[in-house]
A and B are shown apart, each in its own frame.
Chain A
Amino acid sequence: MFVLGDMSIFGAFFAVFCWEMREDEAGFAAAAADLHQPIGVVNTLLLLLGSYAVVAALQAHRRDRPGPTAGWLRVATGTGFAFIAAKAVEYSLEISGGHTPGTNTFFTFYFVMTGVHLLHVVVGLVLLGTWSRRTRAGRRPSRVFVEAAAVYWHMVDLLWVVIFNLLYLGPLS
């Protein structure tokens, strides 16, 4: 229910963004051209890889194989940290280029949407980290916990694939 609620809040954000883009197509296209699309696509591929790793970790957990579970969780958390690092580079490039949340409507959406999403990445990493720590310590976490952590991480991926098309590609197309 929490995941569905979270997704619905983002869904409303997405719809309002499209409404605003319709009102100012040229302005949104010009602003989106100042984003760093290659960083955006790398981040998309990182989260997709992270999702695959979490599916593999969950399969290994169900087969009671702690070694592979911990290994795949290392891959997944690695993609999460790489995502945060790439996002930090991207934000610094935008801010040094004179783009802040107050620059225009597009950049307000950009910083709010990607910023709130980034918080979700951090929460997802805490959940995966807890799962990984318990597994490595030989304390098998409960099925409910690992499935909730996996679903949360996939939600982070699910929201990002829409955000990427919406912010980075849609206005340019």
Chain B
Amino acid sequence: MIGGVPARVLAVWLVLVAVTAMTFWIGTGHHGPADLGPAVVVAAGFVKAFLVGRHFMEVREAPRALRIALAAWTSTFGALCVAFLLS
């Protein structure tokens, strides 16, 4: 625990930093394992946004309506973006 932040939030933060570094490395052509394609990279952005909302904004502990709103925002706009990029 650093700064009184729960271990779970610190773990999520480390995952966000790692995913950012990894998508940057692969997205800018630094010999990734495969060409991810824009849909995967954009979907990864929405997953990161969901984690920020759930764990940093404390939506995880918020009333059910807010939990649904965050999930709906992520899935609706994330799915729209991915669908457009794959079509």
List residues of A whose CB falls within 8 A of some B CB: 4, 7-8, 11-12, 14-15, 17-19, 21-22, 25, 37, 40-41, 44-45, 48, 51-56, 59-60, 63, 68, 72, 150-151, 154-155, 157-159, 161-166, 168-173
Contact = CB atoms under 8 A, between A and B. Distances in A.
Interface in B19-52: 20-21, 23-24, 26-29, 35-38, 40-42, 44-46, 48-49, 52
Contacts of A53: 3
A48 B73 contact: no
A73 to B, nearest CB: 11
B40 A4 contact: no
A41 B24 contact: yes
B42 A18 contact: yes
Tell me the interface secondary structure of chain A in the complex: helix
Contacts, number: 136
Interface string B1-22: 0111100011001001100110
A154 B57 contact: yes
How big is the B interface, by class?
35 or more
Please give me the 9 A-B residue pairs with the lowest Cβ-Cβ distance, nearest first.
Answer: A165-B45, A56-B3, A169-B27, A11-B77, A59-B4, A18-B81, A18-B84, A170-B38, A161-B48
Nearest to B79: A15
A40 B45 CA distance: 13
Interface string B55-73: 0110000000000010001
Contact of A173 (B38, B46, B76): B38
Contacts of A19: 84
A56 B2 contact: yes
B5 A56 contact: yes
B17 A68 contact: no
A25 B84 CA distance: 12
Contacts of B81: 14-15, 17-18, 166
A15 B4 contact: no
B1 to A, nearest CB: 9
B57 A161 contact: no
Contacts of B10: 52
B80 to A, nearest CB: 4
B28 A169 contact: yes
A173 B52 contact: no
Contacts of B76: 11
